[in-house]
Amino acid sequence: MEIITAVRGFKDVLPPETEKWRYIEETARDIFQTFGFREIRVPLLEKTTLFQRGIGESTDIVEKEMYTFVDRGDESLTLRPEATASVIRAYLEHALYNTETVTKLFTSGPMFRRERPQKGRYRQFHQIDAEILGPDDPHTDAELILMLMHFLKKLELPHLNLEINSLGCDQCRPPFRAAIHSFLRGQEEKLCSDCRRRLVTNPLRVFDCKVESCAAILSGAPLLQDFLCPPCREHFVKVQSSLDLFDLSYRLNPKMVRGLDYYTRTTFEVTQESHGAQNAVVGGGRYDHLVRDLGGPDISGIGFAIGFERLAAMTPKPKTDASDGPLLFIAILGDSAFDEAFRLCNTLRMKGVRVEMDHGGRSLKSQMKRADKLQSVYTLILGEREIAEKKALLRNMRASTQTEIHLDQIEETIIELER
């Protein structure tokens, strides 16, 4: 009978990769908490309208990538393609804005987008997401970016590029929209069908096109940065001068527009040079109208999403001093020693010591082989004679030394070694 495989684009994360994931999550949690963030957990499934209204009808995500279905109660539901809309939904539903003026939240977990799977791009992928709701001050933008870069540095990721841009606001965009329309007048036919559609729905997004001929046409196009209104310009300058207080390099990229409609003003991306086509690790930005668009009060926000799979692929193996294996492997010689070994093994585990043993009466040689494979620090050989004499040999596998210990003292001795 054939085995059942995972769904295309959905991937298992196996050990030891899971250990790296846990290390990344713990590092994020530590650093984000230092910067005042608290964890929120939101459902994987939301009403479809949340994403239609939140992310924007004209985005690739909403147009063609969402896992949407009608459930048995005739309600249209969607597996979340990103976390920001859900976090804001929860922020509004629980009126968190009534209890605090600044809300800093982080979350992590799976997201779902029906994209074409390839290396670094999956249909279920994971993100670490951080959001600050409340202040619209440029220092907030700088602080969030600083925290992000500090986190990535802590993971010792090589060759990172931070790019920032400002997407302006409702004041700056209409004149820019007019300028880009007049620049492209007569050339619309040469653009790809996606870009022709974007010209109508959201002209900013033409800069996001990966088609070479579109990029060539757009190379001399007007840029939004030249249309920023004075408050947006001032905000962006202040973000940069606040970042300049720290030892942080970044590049201004006036063509970076991001794939979600809700962004206003500061946007940023982190890419890694050597990572081929799917080289964006983090995307984020300010969204000053999203809370209002989702039915809430006029509250600003800014956030980022880190792609977990891409981050894990770039993160060097965490350095740990301790061996990954157990502290002790108990090998048994003869079936009569099994019960004593089984009792000792599980008693020590309940006291917090990592101990392994074999079940199933394998030869001493194959038990020792397994102890080696697991990289156990110590092995204890228990046989009928050892139990009768109440003594056994504890072998240090690394130093290749052994000591005789009394069986009555074995628990304390091993617990002492653990310290």
Question: Does residue 55 touch ligand AMP according to CB under 6 A?
Answer: no
Contact, 163 vs 258, CB < 8 A? no
CA distance 247 to 152: 14
Contact, 121 vs 278, CB < 8 A? yes
Contact, 318 vs 23, CB < 8 A? yes
Which of 41-61 are b and which e, b meaning 16 or more Cβ less than 10 Å from the residue's Cβ? Answer: ebeeebebebbbbbbbeebbb
**Residue of minimal Cβ distance to ligand AMP:** 307
The CB-of-51 to ligand AMP minimum distance in angstroms stands at 12
Options 91-99, 122-130, 132-140, 210-218: segment touching ligand AMP (CB under 6 A): 122-130
Question: Does residue 305 touch ligand AMP according to CB under 6 A?
Answer: yes
Binding ligand AMP (rule: CB under 6 A), the pick from 53, 114, 121, 289 is 121
The CB-of-55 to ligand AMP minimum distance in angstroms stands at 9
Binding ligand AMP (rule: CB under 6 A), the pick from 235, 265, 310, 395 is 310
Based on CB atoms, which residue is closest to ligand AMP, 85 or 355? 85
Binding ligand AMP (rule: CB under 6 A), the pick from 54, 56, 138, 307 is 307
Question: Does residue 88 touch ligand AMP according to CB under 6 A?
Answer: no
The CB-of-12 to ligand AMP minimum distance in angstroms stands at 15
Spatial CA neighbour of 224 closest among 171, 277, 301:
171
Which of 302-331 are b and which e, b meaning 16 or more Cβ less than 10 Å from the residue's Cβ? Answer: bbbbbbbbbbbbbbeeeeeeeeebbbbbbb
Based on CB atoms, which residue is closest to ligand AMP, 59 or 103? 59
Q: Is the dihedral of CA 73, 74, 78, 84 positive or negative?
A: negative
The CB-of-247 to ligand AMP minimum distance in angstroms stands at 24
Question: Does residue 289 touch ligand AMP according to CB under 6 A?
Answer: no
Q: How many residues does the chain have?
A: 419
Size of the site for ligand AMP (CB under 6 A): 16
Based on CB atoms, which residue is closest to ligand AMP, 122 or 227? 122
The CB-of-325 to ligand AMP minimum distance in angstroms stands at 32
Backbone angles phi, psi at 342, to 5 degrees: -60, -45
DSSP, residue by residue, 291-326: HHHTT--S-EEEEEEEEHHHHHHHSPPPP-SS-SS-
The residues binding ligand AMP (CB under 6 A) are 82, 113, 115, 121-122, 125, 127, 259, 280-283, 305, 307, 309-310
